Chain A
Amino acid sequence: GAVVSQHPSRVICKSGTSVKIECRSLDFQATTMFWYRQFPKKSLMLMATSNEGSKATYEQGVEKDKFLINHASLTLSTLTVTSAHPEDSSFYICSAPFGLAGFYNEQFFGPGTRLTVL
């Protein structure tokens, strides 16, 4: 199956700093990638859809200026948590669909990034 990587897998930072998380599709091109957030023992909540060559589409309630998304190429999307605070601590997971648009597309998930803001 297709492989999606995330880097870093774990990051600890001080409050007020910015953190960048990378999501890469390793063996396929992804014009769209998705960013999810997961709190401990909770479900995955879609934050935004990353679109190659255009602006990301954010879900309602997600701060665009807080969570900056850049889809720089067909294999790379980045999520930058700006001025991070302890409440931003969470597990962030990206995914990329692989298949024909509009039909069944299996989502390939990255291994996730655990962010801890002190």
Chain B
Amino acid sequence: AQKITQTQPGMFVQEKEAVTLDCTYDTSDPSYGLFWYKQPSSGEMIFLIYQGSYDQQNATEGRYSLNFQKARKSANLVISASQLGDSAMYFCAMSLTGGGNKLTFGTGTQLKVEL
């Protein structure tokens, strides 16, 4: 069974600074996808970025980048130039390609961006 671990329950960052949210995963399946979602206080789940297990390059989407280290089984999210609107809960998730698109979520990291 797959598992996602997020060891940072809460993080603080100053506006305009970069922040890294940690995520490690465990699976014996060679084919998988890693996702990051943002959940503001309203509850909606907002897709941020995706990394496939066979992707050679780290994924980037605007201010978001995913630091994928396959040997270490880590998929850290880097947010550059933090904004006040980035304050939210962030979830790392994994889907096995042969798993019917089911997502397994980590416990989340609450990010607070300060002035």
Q: Tell me how many residues of A have a C-beta within 8 Å of chain B.
A: 25
- Please tell me if the beta carbons of B47 and A107 are within 8 angstroms of each other in the complex: yes
- Asked if B58 is an interface residue, CB under 8 A from chain A, the answer is no
- Please tell me if the beta carbons of A42 and B44 are within 8 angstroms of each other in the complex: no
- Please tell me if the beta carbons of B43 and A114 are within 8 angstroms of each other in the complex: yes
- Please tell me if the beta carbons of A49 and B100 are within 8 angstroms of each other in the complex: yes
Known: A43-B108, A104-B33. A111 touches B97 (CB 8 A): no
Identify the closest chain A residue to B89 (Cβ): A41
**Chain B interface: which of A16-24, A61-69, A70-78, A89-97?**
A89-97
Per-residue B-contact encoding for A23-63, CB less than 8 Å = 1, 0 else: 00000000010100000011111100100000000000000
Interface size of B as a range: 20 to 34
Which residue of A43, A46, A102 is within 8 Å of B91 (Cβ)?
A: A43
- Asked if B68 is an interface residue, CB under 8 A from chain A, the answer is no
- Please tell me if the beta carbons of A32 and B100 are within 8 angstroms of each other in the complex: yes
- Please tell me if the beta carbons of A111 and B44 are within 8 angstroms of each other in the complex: yes
On chain A, the residues within 8 Å of B83 by CB distance are none
On chain A, the residues within 8 Å of B47 by CB distance are 106-108
- Please tell me if the beta carbons of A97 and B106 are within 8 angstroms of each other in the complex: no
On chain B, the residues within 8 Å of A34 by CB distance are 101-103
B32-72 with Cβ < 8 A to chain A? 33, 35, 37, 42-45, 47, 50, 52
- Please tell me if the beta carbons of A46 and B104 are within 8 angstroms of each other in the complex: yes
A82-118 with Cβ < 8 A to chain B? 91, 93, 95, 97, 101-109, 111-112, 114
Q: Which residues of B contact A (CB under 8 A)?
A: 33, 35, 37, 42-45, 47, 50, 52, 89, 91, 95, 97-98, 100-108, 110
Q: Which residues of A contact B (CB under 8 A)?
A: 32, 34, 41-46, 49, 91, 93, 95, 97, 101-109, 111-112, 114
